[in-house]
Amino acid sequence: MVLDMRGISSYCDAFVLCHGSNRRQVRAIAEGVVDDLKAKGARTTGLEGLDASRWVLIDLGDVLVHVFDGPMRGFYDLESLWSDARRIDIPGVTAASPPPPPVRAPAHA
């Protein structure tokens, strides 16, 4: 999913949100994105979370790529947090699976 952050965020123009089924897949996705960008001459300005591979953030300046494992994507639920952001359709790209449902902390009695 790509969120258009222009006009609602001062630090980037877009969020790219995706997730993997497990930490190994999250790491492979993140490394694949970085490798593909380098091959195309683009530079990353930051890379966080690769060691734990639960939530990897790839900073491209105007674009932030978030690669989550399922539970982290559901817990942080950036789609709902930034619900004012317009969704950007990418021609020829379809989601392999919907994002996991949000995970909420249990209510205390």
CATH of residue 27: 3.30.460.10
Q: What is the DSSP letter of 63?
A: E
The yes-or-no verdict on residue 59 having pLDDT over 50 is yes
pLDDT of 23-50, one tens digit each?
999 999 999 999 999 999 998 999 999 9
Grouping H, G, I as helix, E, B as strand and the rest as coil, residue 70 is helix
24 found inside a domain = yes
Q: What is the pTM of this model?
A: 0.83
What is the DSSP annotation of 14-26?
A: EEEEEEESSHHHH
The yes-or-no verdict on residue 4 having pLDDT over 50 is yes
Q: Give the chain's domain count.
A: 1
100 found inside a domain = no
Q: Which pLDDT belongs to residue 91?
A: 81
Helix (H) or strand (E) holding 30: helix 23-39
Please give the residue range of the domain that contains residue 14: 2-87
Q: How far, in Å, CA of 57 to CA of 47, rounded? A: 6
pLDDT of 75-109, one tens digit each?
999 999 999 999 998 887 766 555 666 555 555 54
